[in-house]
Amino acid sequence: MLCVSRAELFVSCFGLGFFILVLFVCLLSGNKPVLVKLQRTSCVLNIRLILLWSSEYIEELVQTNANGGNKLCEGTFLNPGSWGAALLAAGTTLSAMRHILHGHGKIAYALVRPPGHHAQPDHADGYCFLNNAGLAVHLTLDSGRAKVAVVDIDVHYGNGAAEGFYRMDNLLTISLHMNHGSWGPSHPQSGSSDEIGEGRGLGYNLNIPLPNGSGDLGYEYAMNELVVAAIDKFQPQLLVFVIGQDSSMVS
């Protein structure tokens, strides 16, 4: 298990099981669980949306919502209510992160939907409109934290965070996922181990594609031998976990 004594921990997730686990860890560590109220859009959120995504993409989402919804890319539709839900998820994620940044605790958990780890700087992808974890990372770096690490264990490649921070050396992105490759124009990234970042970010994107059926032992080995080693070397001040639970036995 990852040691988080040297870094604060933030979890962006859309599964109840891991929420119960985090709650248990909080109680064991003496941290009092705090529920953060769902937060709708604000001026601060609007500014961060523009900083992370192109204004054309945000305008597309706003107009598509105003027109009653439409298909954004293959398999991803913005339906009535989707945009409001995405803003709630993003605002709540930022509120949870601020709980840590303002010194109210060392662990926060954002139980939100829709998920966001496929949303890219200029388009939606994989049922994701806004990258919640990406917003949390941006807020953290703006707060003065020098280095942040993202660990994504969803069964699919966390290409949104990787693409958004692919050229940065103060963010380490790690994704454990099945070896699914690219799935079309909206998801050109393959998630292969040779996608390691570019420019200043070269070497700061770690992809760990796992064979289907790897199971608990495969994940445990990858975490202990690769993820923990990379984090120990990078020495982040804060860890962000993206916990999509479609990597379970059911999938």
Q: Exactly one of 118, 123, 177, 187 is catalytic; name it.
A: 118
Note the pLDDT of residue 251: 45
Give me the residue spans of the domains in the chain. 8-245
The pTM is what? 0.80
Active site residue 138: no
Q: Rounded to 10 degrees, what is the CA torsion of 97, 99, 104, 106? A: -20
Phi, psi of 35 (to 5 degrees): -90, 130
User: 8-245: which CATH topology?
Assistant: Arginase; Chain A (3.40.800)
Instruction: Check residue 112 and give its pLDDT.
Output: 84
pLDDT at 75: 81
- Give the chain as a DSSP string: ----TTSEEEEEE--HHHHHHHHHHHHHHTPPP-PPPP----HHHHHHHHHHS-HHHHHHHHHHHHTT-EEEETTEEE-TTHHHHHHHHHHHHHHHHHHHHTTS-SEEEEE-SS--TT-BTTB-BTTBSS-HHHHHHHHHHHTT---EEEEE-SSS--HHHHHHTTT-SSEEEEEEEE-----BTTB-----TT----GGGTT-EEEEEE-TT-HHHHHHHHIIIIIHHHHHHH--SEEEEEE-GGGSTT-
Nearest-angstrom CA–CA distance, 144 and 102: 12
At 71, which amino acid appears?
A: K
Report the alpha-carbon distance of residue 157 to residue 208 in Å, rounded. Answer: 9
Lowest mean pLDDT among 163-167, 207-211, 230-234, 243-247: 243-247
Statement: residue 202 has pLDDT above 50: yes
Amino acid found at 237: Q
Q: What is the pLDDT of residue 33?
A: 47
d(CA 152, CA 156): 9
As a whole number, mean pLDDT of residues 35-45 equals 50
pLDDT 10s digits, 133-191: 998 999 999 999 999 999 998 888 888 888 888 899 999 999 998 887 666 776 667 78
Residue 222 has a pLDDT of: 94
The answer for residues whose C-beta is within 8 angstroms of residue 57's C-beta and 6 or more apart is 121, 122, 123
